[in-house]
Amino acid sequence: MKVTFTKVDVKRYEITIVREHGPALLPRYGPGYDDLMPHDLAHYLVEESYGIQLGVWGQLAAGGGGIFTPAPWDNSLANKKRTQRIGAIGRGDMVRSEQLVQLTVATWERGVGRNKHQIPAYVEFGAEDLDKAVRRMSAVAERWSSLQHGGSIEFSWPARLTFNPAKSQRGRRLSARTSVAARN
């Protein structure tokens, strides 16, 4: 999956996704614009750094929709069901992603002399992982802040973090025959 973050103007950024699984997604403006680190960009970096398979970006890579809208020609019932299944399977990863984004962004901000976000009271993390994520965030923030309006940064979501729902039984309903066999 290719993800492109484009700096549109002083208040907006756009996200475009081209992916292998699931319907085509329409580009959208991201929430939480920031000259140094927009919210969705922080999520991308954190989920990639910590290896979160079914956070925001992993769900999109797996064919889910999340906060993106499928192109009208691909907005089928089967795609809606896939999105719901992937979302249900990934609930725990989404919670973890939010916690680690708060921690990583707040820690990174301390390093650049900002205090917009509070460090959460309790989040399980590895110190090495946090250091690595903060270094990556610093490098990307430097690139992002130097972009002119209309400039973009593109990322490729790691294949090792891409969940394949077609090859997984997670989140599937058991057939009547399977559920009877499972009870015996």
d(C-alpha 52, C-alpha 152), whole Å: 24
State the residue range of the domain holding 157: 2-183
| Residue count (the chain) | 184
Beta strands in 54-141 (DSSP E): none
Provide the domain count of the chain: 1
* H-run or E-run covering 6: strand 2-7
Q: What is the pLDDT of residue 167?
A: 67
The pLDDT of residue 171 is above 60: no
Are 151 and 6 spatial neighbours (Cβ–Cβ below 8 Å)? yes
| Amino acid sitting at position 127 | A
Whole-prediction pTM value? 0.86
- 115-127 core/surface letters (b: 16 or more CB in 10 A; e: else): eebeeeeeeeeee
pLDDT band at 179 (very low <50, low <70, confident <90, very high): very low
Using the structure block, give the residue that is written with the tokens 């965030």: 137
Number of neighbouring beta carbons within 10 Å of residue 40: 22
The pLDDT of residue 173 is above 80: no
The CA-based dihedral angle spanning residues 18, 21, 23, 28, taken in that order and rounded to the nearest 10 degrees: -40
Q: What is the pLDDT of residue 23?
A: 85
The pLDDT of residue 140 is above 90: yes
Angle at which helices 39-50 and 91-111 pack, to 10 degrees? 110
The pLDDT of residue 109 is above 80: yes
Q: What is the pLDDT of residue 73?
A: 63
